[in-house]
Amino acid sequence: MAAKVERLFTISGISEIFKHDRRKVGRIIAEAGIKPVKIEGKREYYVPREYLDAYMKDVTGDNNEILDYTQERARLAREQRRKTQLEVEVLKKSLIPAEEVEALLGRLVISARAKFLSIPTKAAAIAVSMSETEIEELLTNHVYQALNELSSQSSITMGTAAEAESQSMGGRKQNSKQRGQRGTGPVEH
């Protein structure tokens, strides 16, 4: 009877067989020092059994390690408890899913960009006949106004509008003292 010949596969083929990520298969093969059995051009072929052995070593940490049922059961219970705690935190709204945070931050960055890019346009028409100090004050007010709008927008989105309204965002006080310079009047926002 003839010896059984094992089929050879590329890294992509092995990743399809075992349903593992291609990069993970490549990493495990490289770390285990598995050499290709056959090379055709750029394609390298491996024996899937060698990958499986290396994968099992990678998963268990050491080939000689004997898994203890009670330790593994305790580890499983601990991980299940952590997962349950996270689920409870999500239900309590103490945790926000990463996708929601990314979407919110994306919207805030776009909004901030638009607000700051609009400042020169808003201020240009008003600043034509102003002195340097008045222009500086005008621009500073526009920046603080944009920051306050962004602050209130983000706190409303995050569900903490009441907290944001009670806290100052910085900037100048609304009732600032008018200087007695000629040709100046109140600046409209």
Check whether residue 71 and residue 52 sit in a common domain. no
- 13-70 pLDDT, tens digit per residue, is 888 888 888 898 888 889 888 898 888 998 898 888 888 888 888 777 655 556 678 8
| Pairwise CA distance, residues 98 & 79, whole Å | 20
Q: Give a yes or no: residue 23 inside a domain.
A: yes
The parent domain of residue 4 ranges over 1-64
**Confidence at residue 168, expressed as pLDDT on a 0 to 100 scale:** 47
**pTM of this prediction exceeds 0.85:** no
Task: Decide if 116 is inside a domain.
Answer: yes
DSSP H helical ranges for 6-131: 11-18, 22-32, 48-60, 69-91, 98-127
Same domain, 9 and 32: yes
In a domain, 172, yes or no: no
Q: How many domains does the chain have?
A: 3
Same domain as 84, residue 34:
no
Euclidean distance between CA atoms 111 and 149, whole angstroms:
10
76, 114: one domain:
no
pLDDT digits (tens, 9 = 90+) for 124-171: 888 888 888 888 898 898 888 888 888 877 666 555 433 433 444 444
Q: Are residues 72 and 106 in the same domain?
A: no
187 is a domain residue:
no
- Please check whether residue 105 lies inside any domain of the structure: yes
127 and 161 housed in the same domain: yes
pLDDT digit string, tens, across residues 83-132? 999 889 888 888 888 888 899 888 888 988 888 888 888 888 888 888 88
